[in-house]
Structure 1
Amino acid sequence: MSQVLHTPPPTPALTPDAGPAEHDLAALAARHGLSVSGARPSLPDYVRRLWARRHFIGAFATAKLTAQYSQAKLGQLWQVMTPLLNAAVYYFIFGVLMNTKRGVEDYVPFLVTGVFVWTFTQSSIMAGTRAISGNLGLVRALHFPRAALPVSFCLQQLQQLLFSMAALVVILLAFGVPPTASWVLAVPALALQFVFNAGVAMIMARVGSKIPDMAQLMPFLLRTWMYGSGVMFSIHQMTGPGSGMPSWVGPLLQVNPAAVYIDLMRFALIDSFGGAMLPDHVWAMAVGWALLAGIGGFIYFWKAEETYGRG
Structure 2
Amino acid sequence: MANTAVADAHSGLTGSQLAARHGLSVAGRRPTLTAYTQALWSYRHFMTTYANAKVTASFSQARLGQIWQMLTPLTNAAVYYLIFGVILNTSRGVPNFIAYLCVGLFVFTFTSSTATAGTSAITSNLGLIRALHFPRAALPFAITLTQLRHLLAAMVVLIGIVLVTGEPITLEWLLAVPALLLQAAFTVGLALILARLGAKLTDLKQIMPFVMRTWMYGSGVLYSVQAFSDNLPAPATTLIQLNPMLIYIELVRHALLENAPVTSDMPRLWLLATAWALVVGISGFIYFWRGEQEYGRG
Say yes or no: TM over 0.5.
yes
Using a 3 Å threshold, how does the CA distance of structure 1 residues 99 and 279 change in structure 2: closer, same or farther?
farther
Tell me the C-alpha RMSD between the 2 structures.
Answer: 2.1
Is 1:87 the counterpart of 2:74 in the alignment?
A: no
Find the partner of 1:61 among 33, 48, 51.
51
Q: TM-score, normalised by structure 2?
A: 0.92
Higher normalized helix content (fraction of residues): 2
User: Which residue of structure 1 aligns with residue 35 of structure 2?
Assistant: 45
Identity %: 52
User: Which residue of structure 1 aligns with residue 227 of structure 2?
Assistant: 238
Is 1:150 the counterpart of 2:140 in the alignment?
A: yes
Find the partner of 2:128 among 118, 138, 147.
138
User: Which residue of structure 2 aligns with residue 261 of structure 1?
Assistant: 248
User: 1:277: Cα distance to partner?
Assistant: 5.8
- What does residue range 1-311 of structure 1 map to in structure 2 within 5 Å? 18-19=10-11, 26-235=16-225, 237-240=226-229, 243-273=230-260, 278=265, 281-311=268-298
Using a 3 Å threshold, how does the CA distance of structure 1 residues 64 and 137 change in structure 2: closer, same or farther?
same
Rounded Cα–Cα distance in structure 2 between residues aligned with 1:225 and 1:245: 16
Rounded Cα–Cα distance in structure 2 between residues aligned with 1:278 and 1:115: 22
| C-alpha contact 1:251 1:279 (8 A) present in aligned 2 | no
Deviations 1:109-152 (A, max 9, x none): 00011110011001110111110011000111111111010011
State which structure, 1 or 2, has the greater radius of gyration over its C-alpha atoms: 1
Q: TM-score, normalised by structure 1?
A: 0.88
Using a 3 Å threshold, how does the CA distance of structure 1 residues 244 and 29 change in structure 2: closer, same or farther?
closer
User: Which residue of structure 2 aligns with residue 5 of structure 1?
Assistant: none
How many aligned residue pairs are there? 293
Q: Which amino acid aligns with 2:10?
A: A
Q: Which amino acid aligns with 1:174?
A: V
What secondary structure does 2:258 align onto? Answer: coil
Q: Which runs of 5+ in 1 are unaligned?
A: 1-13
Using a 3 Å threshold, how does the CA distance of structure 1 residues 209 and 106 change in structure 2: closer, same or farther?
same
User: 1:24: Cα distance to partner?
Assistant: 5.7
